[in-house]
Structure 1
């Protein structure tokens, strides 16, 4: 029986005799081929990005096993046999050297693996660094509506613009300006260079859209304002049923024109079709235009359009998401005198939320919507935080501008007392979507909880100047009230009326309080009695405003009674008691702590 090697030459001979070298070379060659093959088929087959990493790890483990087995066993004509080992009578010194040789083989195996791992890691890191360094900023300006004879079709050109933004935002190498920001340039006489400079973007996308009978016509152009170069342009003329696929096609063309190689995950995301029905797509765009009006008529029209769209395509996830959001906005206490209870709103919205999650579980928008439902209608902050955290984790925001209110995220963290986190997110939201007027309210609330009332007033003035609606006037009046400027508070609180001319309950409470602070008791009692009558008549979401009135008068027992009723009925706005300065004096009261703990820790039972 041959001795185990006792010098490098003999060790090399022993490796050859045991066919270890042959196995190593063969294994590495095979592993290389497998990795190359996986990298080639990954994109066409839509394999996850982690596939090649998993295969690499498995091959490394297999390498160790192959080397180990090749040292011990040999394949012969008679089958697999154990390789002849050193004679037991061999001197111990030689046997020790044999053990050393095994250690050398193990070290060699580890060295090869580390070499490959290091190369793989360097390649991955370099690719990531290159992507981070080459982030491309793009703004999509509102498409021009070529249906000049019908202004009612403006919704289509605006809606397609938003859809293009959504598709482009799926590409990690792009930073896309939100539609609410680019919309301010609609119809404005500004040069491309001026717009690009103001938006701080490298490229602009412009174009036009037209519907003619059952056809859709789009003309799109990608332009570099700094070089005045038209990088790419495309013309599309498709039947209406193919309209939902055009935006993804445009996104791919833009990526190709800018030499961006799409990952398998990005390709898979872009190839996902939201609906196969062109008419449903058109109705969805109409609904988006109507809901943005934030009026009773707009909410009603949105619901009608979406009901028809979902009859045409029951599996239209985006339509289910927008329908749920519409129900939540409809039921909001700031939008009108409300006759729909929180449980009724949840009963309407939740089935659409559940369906949207079933159809598209990786969409962050639907979790923002569900988070809003918990924040405003169940009053369960634990559940709201779970949803908004998931929305952020899915990475659809803040990099990707959302079509839904990011104020849900900020408001949740404010209610939880995590003001630093709320400020960080509000700042990020403003960077991503500076044209979103609702962000002014988020910043103003943060300013108020920090006692910075003049700053809050400046922010809310900007919001009211842009969009004069009850929601903004309420907060504007609130900021003056807590700054002890009760006369100014009354001016804006009186403007917070709904579409039917009815003062919203939250403003009614603050008006009563403002007159109370001015010792105008007749007016104060008038507003208080009006709210009490509305509460007794069955108007929902009035218990919390009644608690606000009692709190301003330092009526501890009445305040806690109304807050308990508000929590029991899931009054819209109850989570605001966590930060509203009116309740500062009772925050440490055991009964308030009990209410707070229910909001913080209670679990939700899904009624589905």
Structure 2
């Protein structure tokens, strides 16, 4: 008891509390500053260690010395009945109160930041059994086989995705570290991956050698370091063997359904190389409106199937490419070309499924086929099958989520998006897809917030601006919607239309823009769904139905946009109900029950 009283007399307890509170505030502020300047993690760890080591020194100092009006004095030299604590107590009380107020303010700031953080960044915990496959090094003498080394890394990544218990980081995020001299542990922390796979590829005539190294990102231990070689005709079998070896090193319990990786089908090496060049160009969907990429991808995939008529993946991706051509790369007035593209896509999708019913790519292609036939139920089944066959694939998850978001199954759609984003945290297009499905779920505030996060990374992202615009429109914040649409038009080079939206109120601007379109531009070039949405914003029933029916008559898959908010004002109209039935929506929902 006497010892405790002495601690109070010497202010040891209060000075210790003051030290802890001030140290905590200092560390919080320092951490925020270090994060802004992207300082390495060892800096903050070193500061924390030094402050922790300083605590016992401070306690000793508090016991041995007191602050008096005459300066520092040893406590033992101050009379016990001298009142030495009053002034010190007052100063310490003020210091602790101020520090606590700062601490509360910092807590609120951090809380606000955490709310506005992208779903991807919400977890800094390394995911168990998670692996990132880095781009493999090109070890060819002329360094001209980069597409091959990248493609082999991607194919091994795709095979690892088939293990249900393994979380595989998507290629777009993993490959963002290409040609960057980043430490393995740093990459692991950024991607939340517990394992990193590196490799190199050397091709010598018809022989290929693949060297791989699997590293634990937390302790730096190398789990696998091996070289594999085989005839390049057996490249798929070689990649499967590597993937199985990797899975065994990670966890003996990792399972495959039906040993899907054991297909050792021989392949034409020229077809494989050509296919890889096509995959480097392929983009599934209109988030990046670069038409040149889709045409180049088409040429490569066509060459691949000519070189090997049993190459399933080439058929599947050529089918998807043709659907992309028909949906957004060809002008609407090129009807004969669109028909050829759709007919070709159907033949190719069915051919891919016939060759391999366990190919997720073949089922994605068939999903697009059914989607264009307005057979929504079979489209959903095919897309779900693709996810089942490739449970770790982000592309499959996003495609299924897009479908579900349009057909009212928004909770599952967003869950799939969030799963995919955890595996692809650095890809901007993936974040845009999540914003798209937030819009479709009518979570407009979250959609706007997500778009703002994307625009901090890429201020001129048309995809992010597009869904930000739609979210503003859904909230009926028409002034913001008009400004955002004007920026989109500027980025597209349509300055005349952009000026209209800058000058006039939103709905007035739509009217003036529509007058210009009708007077000056071929209706074959303008997409009927876009026209119907503009007229829906004006609540012009006749024109809205005119273009919706035009979309239906031309069997445009974008008829699925009927669930969007613009068409709320006509949902009880008999013409809408008739279109809803003709386009297969009524049958779809009845069969879903």
| Shorter-chain TM-score above 0.5 | yes
Q: Deviations over 1:345-368 (max 9, x none)?
A: 321211111011111112233323
The aligned residue for residue 376 of structure 2 is 381
Q: Indicate conservation of the 8 Å contact 2:529/2:548, yes or no.
A: yes
Deviation at 1:471, TM superposition (A): 4.4
The aligned residue for residue 163 of structure 1 is 155
Deviation at 1:316, TM superposition (A): 0.7
The aligned residue for residue 216 of structure 1 is 208
1:249-328 alignment, distance < 5 Å? 249-258=241-250, 260=252, 265=257, 268-273=259-264, 275-292=266-283, 295-328=290-323
Q: Indicate conservation of the 8 Å contact 2:408/2:441, yes or no.
A: no
The aligned residue for residue 527 of structure 2 is 542
Q: Deviations over 1:2-36 (max 9, x none)?
A: xxxxxxxxxxxxxxxxxxxxxxxxxxxxxxxxxxx
The aligned residue for residue 182 of structure 1 is 174
The aligned residue for residue 396 of structure 1 is 390
**2:487 & 2:452 partners in 1: Cα distance?**
10
1:448-463 alignment, distance < 5 Å? 448-449=439-440, 451-463=442-454
Deviation at 1:584, TM superposition (A): 1.3
Provide the alpha-carbon RMSD of the alignment: 3.4
Which of 517, 520, 530 is equivalent to 2:517?
Answer: 530
**2:276 & 2:417 partners in 1: Cα distance?**
28
Deviation at 1:369, TM superposition (A): 3.1
Choose 342-351 or 563-572, whichever is displaced more: 342-351
Query: Is 1:234 matched with 2:219?
Result: no
Any idea what SS the aligned residue of 1:357 has? Answer: helix
Aligned residues: 451
Deviation at 1:234, TM superposition (A): 1.5
Q: Indicate conservation of the 8 Å contact 1:320/1:352, yes or no.
A: yes
The aligned residue for residue 584 of structure 1 is 568
**1:568 & 1:144 partners in 2: Cα distance?**
51
Any idea what SS the aligned residue of 2:130 has? Answer: strand
Choose 404-413 or 337-346, whichever is displaced more: 337-346
**1:325 & 1:340 partners in 2: Cα distance?**
19
The aligned residue for residue 347 of structure 1 is 343
Going from structure 1 to structure 2, the CA distance change for 1:136 and 1:455 (only over 3 Å counts) comes to closer
The aligned residue for residue 556 of structure 2 is 571
1:476-555 alignment, distance < 5 Å? 476-482=468-474, 483-484=477-478, 485-495=480-490, 497=492, 517-518=505-506, 524-530=511-517, 534-536=521-523, 538-539=524-525, 542-555=527-540
**1:532 & 1:336 partners in 2: Cα distance?**
22
Query: Is 1:362 matched with 2:358?
Result: yes
Q: Indicate conservation of the 8 Å contact 2:397/2:416, yes or no.
A: no
Going from structure 1 to structure 2, the CA distance change for 1:478 and 1:210 (only over 3 Å counts) comes to farther
Q: Indicate conservation of the 8 Å contact 2:201/2:208, yes or no.
A: yes
Choose 439-448 or 254-263, whichever is displaced more: 254-263
Structure 1 residues not aligned, in runs of 5+: 1-133, 604-608
Going from structure 1 to structure 2, the CA distance change for 1:349 and 1:462 (only over 3 Å counts) comes to farther
Q: Deviations over 1:279-314 (max 9, x none)?
A: 111111111001148632222221221122111211
**1:451 & 1:339 partners in 2: Cα distance?**
33
Which of 590, 595, 600 is equivalent to 2:579?
Answer: 595
Any idea what SS the aligned residue of 1:220 has? Answer: strand
Q: Deviations over 1:101-135 (max 9, x none)?
A: xxxxxxxxxxxxxxxxxxxxxxxxxxxxxxxxx97
Going from structure 1 to structure 2, the CA distance change for 1:310 and 1:395 (only over 3 Å counts) comes to closer
**2:513 & 2:282 partners in 1: Cα distance?**
34
Any idea what SS the aligned residue of 1:202 has? Answer: strand
The aligned residue for residue 136 of structure 1 is 129
**1:422 & 1:263 partners in 2: Cα distance?**
26
**1:493 & 1:222 partners in 2: Cα distance?**
44
Deviation at 1:560, TM superposition (A): 1.3
**2:254 & 2:542 partners in 1: Cα distance?**
62
Choose 335-344 or 554-563, whichever is displaced more: 335-344
Query: Is 1:434 matched with 2:430?
Result: no
Query: Is 1:561 matched with 2:561?
Result: no
Q: TM (normalized to structure 1)? A: 0.66
Q: Deviations over 1:509-543 (max 9, x none)?
A: x998887644655x84345432675454x33x622
Q: TM (normalized to structure 2)? A: 0.68
Any idea what SS the aligned residue of 1:233 has? Answer: strand
Q: Indicate conservation of the 8 Å contact 1:290/1:302, yes or no.
A: yes
